[in-house]
Structure 1
Amino acid sequence: MTIPAFGLGTFRLQDDVVINSVKTALELGYRVIDTAQIYENEAAVGQAIEESGVARDELFITTKIWIENLSKDKLIPSLKESLAKLRTDYVDLTLIHWPSPGAAVPVAETLLALVEAKKAGLTRQIGISNFTVELMQEAIEAVGADEIATNQIELHPYLQNRKVVDFAKANGIHITSYMTLAYGKALKDDVIAAIATKHQATPAQVILAWALQLGYAVIPSSTKRENLASNMAAVSLKLDAQDMAKIAELDRGERLVSPEGLAPNWD
């Protein structure tokens, strides 16, 4: 099993907005959809998928377990609820959305419950999100690196998260980048703009191509058909070594997602 390189994110999209985004993306050829329990849009995503007519076995669906459901007695029931909302018998990937605040539920307890969910056929793969090096080490000690399909982390030109990336790579754990466009901030960067002009591409395509060339999976979201189509074209954009080096220099450790009471001690 592998993590597809390119997909659709649904963070902050709800109701008709997410239904339209998912249906449009599926029409355009997207086959990977990322959602989460806390997004409160799983039911809408499930409706969009069903109405799209795309066969389930053509899709790769990811959801994430919220912190209230990380204990061994709550995880599988909550995942079954997610499946009912998504109108499917299984998801392709289930992640721990955030590590349990204050380690109230040990990493090992949650991961072992996810392994059980996998054995039961509720999810094809399992993984983690927002995990630091220390937490990844705990996860590996609990279930082995081979069980951990990906670590989904904030990663964009301004936060390249190299310590986490290097540790994950050394242990064979794939990286999925979220917030790849830095909430749109990176689209206005002069360095990105110059590279985009050089390749007759959009700034978004350049940033997504950069992440893809580094081997990360990306899950950009959009509500506009033209942006959904444009983002998808990033898969075929090839940046040269000079472009990649220039974007590497933009790293300034600028973290945009660090919710109080939820964020771990970042690397």
Structure 2
Amino acid sequence: MSNTDTLKNIAGTIVLAGAGKMGGAMLAGWLAGGLDAKRIVVVEPHPSDEIKALAAKGVRLNPKDAAAAETLVMAVKPQTFREAGPAVRPFVGASTLVVSIMAGTKIAALEEVCGGMVVRAMPNTPAAIGRGITVAVPAKGVSAAQRTTADALLRAIGSVEWVEDERLMDAVTAVSGSGPAYVFLLAEELARAGVEAGLPAELATRLARETVAGSGELLHRSDQPAATLRQNVTSPGGTTQAALEVLMAGDGLQQLMIRAIAAATKRSIELAK
């Protein structure tokens, strides 16, 4: 069954709390996947014009009446999560599936504030173009059917992986949640190095941007490991090998990345306390 078919088969009302960039991307993905707009409720105190326009298509925006829904997706900012609790709690019954995409918000906190059967998920910013990667972890008691529902809703913004140990979510946040920033930094520094090598700034920026974007797309489409794709570009004794000998030295990119991921993981643990 395709994800579109799964979306269409989701039962009951789906409440989206928070329709900012990530929540809005999810909503767009659901509608594009064929989910009936009339079954979606959006709770958003400051809706964008785009979200307001969806009301004309049947999406219920900030309804005055609230009743327990089959599914609640929490997409508010983590720092306003507890403040939003009273507004969303009426939508949650004992068996309501609660899917959170809020960074650093633990299952225990979600159960305390929202109730219901919780799935904690961590997407990343490429979700805005439907190319995100999300990792999800279910609380005890989440049924197979609810897991399927959560998976379908999350797949509307990209790929989905599942783990069973919530403690892994800190490392997930460090690798994929924060990961796009590392890639953007690579493009930044590649352009800067090009300027240092004598290229005009505009040309260096374009070369770096298109190289990173094109290489990412090649990695996406290929079933070969990243190491193999790297080796395919590297001729013995050539220019690429000369650069890689610097990047792959003992104090090079590998050690920098290990330290960076460790720092991000540590900070994720601190923020979740």
Relative contact order higher in (CA < 8 Å, ≥ 6 apart): 1
Query: Normalised by the size of structure 2, how large is the TM-score?
Result: 0.34
Query: Normalised by the size of structure 1, how large is the TM-score?
Result: 0.34
Q: Say which one has the larger Rg.
A: 2
Select the structure that is richer in helix: 2
